[in-house]
Structure 1
Amino acid sequence: MKQQKQQYVTIKGTKDGLTLHLDDSCAFGELLQEIDEKLSTNYYDSGERSLIEVHVKVGNRYVTTKQEEELRALIRNKKNLVVDTIESNVITKEQALEWKRETEIISVTKIIRSGQTLEVRGDLLLIGDVNPGGTVIAGGNIFIIGALRGVAHAGYHGDQEAVIAASLMDPMQLKISEVTNRAPDSRGDGNTMECAYINQNNQIVVDRIQLLTHLRPNLTRLERGIV
């Protein structure tokens, strides 16, 4: 009996196009050959769509830039197909370090005085005050155990889910991503920690920090950073 050839490529059709699940233990050349064979059968039907998006999942395989280009070129050469995403469970050490820098909480103990600027790539946990004229900037969230009387800019790289929290919220200006809010009309009483976030109307609002549990249920880094 003829032994059946092992299948390294599984193709599934979805409402969003095609998804290619690739074996992560075989040689890359074998993948390319099987993708070419399977996509050449033209068994997929584009219907009324001029282009079909292809999502490639490579599993626990690191794909180099050159290999990505080969995958994209091979699929692009087939009728009506275009690669939308290539997803891998594996990243390089440099990518991991970059991710760590962008997501870790940076803890700083100091007073940010007028004319001074403190900027971090990830989340900022500042133990101290931000005086009028002082500025704090973070790629992620900003947590201030102290008074915020200056300027705070969270989500600097475009993260609209970022928040700003302070023991005393009395800022000159708040900014989250590209949304700016001047000093809020209502000032805190100094006894309740408050937070600022972007609401559904794309406006920055300030409210009790207890609301963060419901507003940002995935905000677990705050917990890890303080406990």
Structure 2
Amino acid sequence: MKKRQKVTIKGTKEGLVLHLDDSCSYDELKRELDHKLSANSRTQDERHLTSVKVDLGNRYLSELQLEELKNLIRQKKNFVVDDIESNVITKEEAKELVAETEVITVSRIIRSGQVLEVPGDLLLIGDVNPGGTVIAGGNIFIMGTLKGIAHAGCYGNDRAVIAASSMKPSQLRISDCLNRTPDSIESNEMREMECAYINEDRQIIVDRLQVLIQLRPNLTRLEGGH
């Protein structure tokens, strides 16, 4: 029977990809990795650095073990660790992911001086008065009038959107883009059922709510229980 390889090395245009077996012991994996990298490094041009990406599969490694792997690879002359990927995440990372994708529903009026911030999507049933601020890591949906400040995608999500029943904000922010008074909103005009998003030129655009169907189809991810 052919012995199963614990380490598979594949060359790409960017460098090397190491696929590590996730069913053997960690010590066995390190031994074979050390052996194969030593053999491979002898065939590499020492004048150039080689980028290495590591695929752990369904194996979880502690921070100490990850550092051991990085050091083992770095010791082989011209290898540089570019990335280490794993299909497994910690409970803390899972909780953070759930929080960032969860829709938080709040029913209240955000008055002047008040700040409402959530890690994921925000569904606000109420108004944001002038001087009030709502901040979300994801999208912001307001079933009411937006007259204050709204900041969606505050952790750097350029795909986040802001939608409101009545859009008359003092400031819109999405990710790191800022629009103090959207050009499409007149000072004496209150628009109904509109949304704001970042376009290809990294400008905040205010448009009809219906455009989100084409621009952000993933907003319907909860339909049918998905």
The answer to whether the 8 A contact 1:144-1:167 is kept is: yes
RMSD (Å) for aligned C-alpha atoms: 2.4
The aligned residue for residue 201 of structure 1 is 201
- Larger deviation: 166-175 or 4-13? 4-13
1:58 has 2:86 as partner? no
In structure 2, C-alpha distance between the alignment counterparts of 1:102 and 1:36, rounded to whole Å: 39
The answer to whether the 8 A contact 1:54-1:83 is kept is: yes
The answer to whether the 8 A contact 1:105-1:225 is kept is: no
The aligned residue for residue 145 of structure 2 is 147
- Aligned runs of 1:41-190 on 2, under 5 Å? 41-42=39-40, 46=44, 50-187=48-185
Q: CA deviation at 1:216?
A: 2.1
In structure 2, C-alpha distance between the alignment counterparts of 1:147 and 1:102, rounded to whole Å: 25
Residue in structure 2 matching 1:40, options 34, 38, 46: 38
What is the letter of the counterpart of residue 194 of structure 1? E
SS at match of 1:41: helix
What is the letter of the counterpart of residue 79 of structure 1? K
| Residue ranges of structure 1 left out of the alignment (5+ in a row) | none
The answer to whether the 8 A contact 1:173-1:183 is kept is: yes
In structure 1, C-alpha distance between the alignment counterparts of 2:30 and 2:91, rounded to whole Å: 26
In structure 1, C-alpha distance between the alignment counterparts of 2:19 and 2:44, rounded to whole Å: 20
Q: CA deviation at 1:161?
A: 1.6
In structure 2, C-alpha distance between the alignment counterparts of 1:19 and 1:35, rounded to whole Å: 12
Instruction: Give TM-score, length-normalised by structure 2.
Output: 0.90
In structure 2, C-alpha distance between the alignment counterparts of 1:95 and 1:36, rounded to whole Å: 30
Q: CA deviation at 1:85?
A: 1.1
| Residue ranges of structure 2 left out of the alignment (5+ in a row) | none
In structure 2, C-alpha distance between the alignment counterparts of 1:86 and 1:49, rounded to whole Å: 24
1:215 has 2:220 as partner? no
- Aligned runs of 1:17-32 on 2, under 5 Å? 17-32=15-30
The answer to whether the 8 A contact 2:164-2:192 is kept is: no
- Residues 30-61 of structure 1: CA deviation (Å, up to 9, x unaligned): 11111111111126865697221111111111
- What is the aligned length? 224
- Larger deviation: 38-47 or 202-211? 38-47
* Cα distance change of structure 1 residues 169 and 37 upon mapping to structure 2, 3 Å threshold: same
Q: CA deviation at 1:200?
A: 1.3
* Cα distance change of structure 1 residues 48 and 220 upon mapping to structure 2, 3 Å threshold: farther
What is the letter of the counterpart of residue 201 of structure 2? N
In structure 2, C-alpha distance between the alignment counterparts of 1:80 and 1:50, rounded to whole Å: 7
SS at match of 2:166: strand
Q: CA deviation at 1:4?
A: 4.6
Instruction: Give TM-score, length-normalised by structure 1.
Output: 0.90
SS at match of 2:156: coil
Identity across the alignment (%): 64
SS at match of 1:59: coil
* Cα distance change of structure 1 residues 14 and 220 upon mapping to structure 2, 3 Å threshold: farther
* Cα distance change of structure 1 residues 195 and 226 upon mapping to structure 2, 3 Å threshold: farther
